[in-house]
Amino acid sequence: MKTAVDAVTRAGEMQMARFGTKVRIEKKGAIDLVTEVDLAVEQMFRALIAERHPDHDVLAEELGASSTGARHRWVFDPIDGTTNYAHGIPIFCAALALEIDGVAEIGAVYDPNRRELFTAERGAGASLNGQPLHTSAIETLADSVLVTGFPYSIREAERQRDLLALFSGFLGEARAVRRLGSAAIDLCWVAAGRMEGYWEQSLGPWDMMGAALIVQEAGGRVTGIDGGPLDAYAGHLLATNGHVHEEMLRVIGRRRRP
Ligand code: LIP
């Protein structure tokens, strides 16, 4: 956990040092960006793990995976919310998980704009800046604030129609729906009881793995978007305070094509 906290807080310092300045931006796709800060933060992270845990593997968003077959694997997103970061929108973070034998055992997310450090260890609860985290007690969708995100493939017509059908379905059922641009922050705000449910498809494991554990350890429920067991490598999930999970699955069942 010390390595996890050191990694995400150091990442946050590097993010803020260049935030709002002119940074080099490259396109991985039509609307999928990567900045020089994403790359620098990931290189810092890889050096930190190589120094402290040289026999561990790393999987991170920008530079891929080392695969030595180690039991321990760090899964890292150097900037979750890169589009926000590149446009000067202060909603981004660094997010990581530590997998042991394929199971996420530690999660850590640091939001440097609000100086909020979210952590969780499987079976030991979740915390925000050292204080226990709990999901909200709201029991109905009509009283809930939800949040989602859209994949970089959103411009594909068929995909867009399906995604907007789901979005409008929840608009008609919930108090409000938000789209913040950072999956890990979306998940941590569900864990903190600020929102009641989050769903998204086509994510990377680095976007969701650590923060999904934080929701679970804060008393929430996390499944695949179809209600099956969560698989962070399948790219889709539904995370809630537990109370509204079944109601959200019913809306998804009506609105989502398999
Ligand atoms: C982003 C996610 C966000 C999603 C974006 C993108 P990135 O991750 O955090 O929830 O809607 O499409 O995947 O690319 O900023 O690390």
Decide whether any atom of ligand 1 lies within 6 Å of the 199 Cβ: no
Stronger pLDDT, 31 or 21, i.e. the higher one:
21
26 burial (CB, 10 Å; 0-12 / 13-18 / 19+) is exposed
Average pLDDT over residues 52-80: 95
108 and 170, same domain (yes or no): no
Could you count the other beta carbons within 10 Å of the beta carbon of residue 153? Answer: 15
71 and 178, same domain (yes or no): no
* Residue 151 alpha carbon to ligand 1 centre in Å: 7
177 and 218, same domain (yes or no): yes
Decide whether any atom of ligand 1 lies within 6 Å of the 205 Cβ: no
118 and 147, same domain (yes or no): no
Average pLDDT over residues 205-213: 98
pLDDT of the residue at 226: 96
Number of domains in the chain: 2
9 and 104, same domain (yes or no): yes
Average pLDDT over residues 46-73: 95
Q: Best mutation site among 59, 62, 182 for ligand 1, i.e. most ligand atoms within 8 A of its Cβ? A: 182
Average pLDDT over residues 162-187: 96
Decide whether any atom of ligand 1 lies within 6 Å of the 151 Cβ: yes
Decide whether any atom of ligand 1 lies within 6 Å of the 78 Cβ: no
What pTM was estimated for this model as a whole? 0.96
154 CA closest ligand 1 atom index: 12
Separation between Cα atoms, residue 257 and residue 68, nearest integer Å: 38
Domain boundary among 98, 132, 166: 132
Average pLDDT over residues 149-158: 88
196 and 86, same domain (yes or no): no
pLDDT of the residue at 157: 83
CATH of the domain at 169: 3.40.190.80
CATH of the domain at 126: 3.30.540.10
Q: Which of 27-41, 84-98, 123-137, 203-217 has the lowest mean pLDDT?
A: 27-41
Structural domain harbouring 168: 141-255
145 and 128, same domain (yes or no): no
Could you count the other beta carbons within 10 Å of the beta carbon of residue 71? Answer: 11
Q: Is the pLDDT of residue 30 over 90?
A: no
**Rg over CA atoms, the chain:** 17
